[in-house]
Amino acid sequence: MLRRFLLSIGLASIAAMTAAQSAAAAADPAEFIRTLGNQAIEVIRSAANPDRKRAYFHRVLHQDFDLRRICRFVLGPYWRGASEPERQAFKGLLEAHLVSFYGQRLA
């Protein structure tokens, strides 16, 4: 129960920082978050190996989250001073960290 609550809070926090370009999010953001959370819980509870669960989380990051906007938020004023290659490198590092951090905890 605690894991479900923490997952919901984490997903809601990240989703609140993004403007995902999905029709589901535009139609009903609450339903989008509920569906995303329920799908994640199904994967967590499944018998899939940890690598498959991490792959799922990685796919969801690309599909349902605006990573560029998350990076801008995380870097704050430093975003403007960063070159495009630095921004891309940071995006890759942040993505790898999120997948590693949450992938291990959710698997």
Q: Is the CB of residue 69 less than 8 Å from the CB of residue 17?
A: yes
Mean pLDDT, to the nearest integer, of 58-85? 91
CB neighbour class for 64 (10 Å; exposed up to 12, middle 13-18, buried from 19): buried
The pLDDT value given to residue 17? 47
Domain boundaries, the chain: 2-106
The per-residue pLDDT for range 1-54, each reduced to its tens digit, is: 555 544 455 555 555 544 444 555 557 888 988 988 888 888 888 888 888 888
Q: What is the pTM of this model?
A: 0.62
CB neighbour class for 102 (10 Å; exposed up to 12, middle 13-18, buried from 19): buried
Residue ranges of E strands in 1-107? none
Q: How confident is the model at residue 86 (pLDDT cuts 50, 70, 90)?
A: very high
